[in-house]
Amino acid sequence: MTDEHKASLAAGRAMGLAVRRYLELVGTDERRRGRPVTPESIEKQLASIDKQLATASPLKRLQLLQDREDAKNKLAARSDAETMKTVEREFIAVAKEYADRKRIGYQAWRAAGVSASVLKEAGITRS
């Protein structure tokens, strides 16, 4: 195997890793219609739950306690924004070349959860 071939394989592995890491992070978001879930909206939800806990019946209290734990877990998962930005930058740097090599189109990326703005920044267009 030539040095050039080895370098090409290493570059392909690095691209694949960057794409996989980004898709894993994007995949942790629940893809739903409606308003996006933001840290601010989660904080509001936590405040609302805390208010309701004071007057809730025992069964309602149990459900509110679980809702509070779920909201805290969502907030913790989103708190590592710097990691997300780093992984996103790495993805943007390699996505166009990766898409060209693997013949992956715009719609496939969108279906995988990649936002249109990230694809635009990476140079991947609809056509």
Task: Tell me whether residue 91 is in a domain.
Answer: yes
Task: Tell me whether residue 66 is in a domain.
Answer: yes
One digit per residue, the tens of pLDDT, for the chain of length 127 reads 899 988 888 888 989 888 988 888 777 555 556 677 777 888 999 999 999 999 999 999 999 999 999 888 887 766 666 677 888 999 999 999 999 999 999 999 998 889 999 999 999 998 7
For residue 72, what are its two tokens? 């805290």
> What's the pTM value of the predicted model, to 2 decimals?
0.58
What is the distance between the alpha carbons of residues 89 and 25, in angstroms, rounded to a whole number? Answer: 13
Task: Tell me whether residue 127 is in a domain.
Answer: no
Q: Which domain holds residue 69?
A: 3-122
